[in-house]
Copies of this chain bind each other. A is one copy, B any other.
Amino acid sequence: MTECWELLFDLLMAERARMPTIAAEFDLSPTQVHVLRLLEPGTTVPMGRLACGLGCDASNITGVIDRLEARGLVERRAGERDRRVKVLVVTARGLELRTRLLSRISEPPEPIARLSPADQRALSAILRRALDQPSSTPRTSRIS
């Protein structure tokens, strides 16, 4: 039964343009949005973990953070225990933007918003079951 995945995939593709659009509203790239999303306030994230979370090579992160840092949204700090690592924290400005960003992202797109309340509840319940269970193979990252 691959049907439900195919439907999900269709939904995904139909909403594919959403992220770049939202990112552009905040003058960010999609990758930068993803980074900000992963940088939960009050926590510090080493760059390597970010690379895992984004599923891309560590060398890309450097440039992405460079640009975010240049805009004063993020800060690099030396790791305490290990001076090789550099941990990231959101600045006050970054946090403010992040908050607006996340609230914008969480607006459900039309196909979902249109569902009946009952369907929405059922969908939430199913997705929670899909996501909550620990994976058998350790996932690429478990942020935070």
Contacts and interface: CB of A to CB of B under 8 A. Distances in A.
Contact of A115 (B16, B54, B113, B126): B126
A139 B140 CA distance: 34
Given A7-B131, A16-B55, A108-B2, A119 B126 contact: yes
- The copy count of this chain in the complex is 2
The residue in A8, A109, A120 that gathers the most chain B C-beta atoms within 10 A of its C-beta is A8
Contact of A129 (B9, B105, B115): B115
Contacts of A123: 4, 7-8, 123, 126
Interface in A94-144: 105-115, 117, 119-124, 126-131, 133, 135-137, 139-140
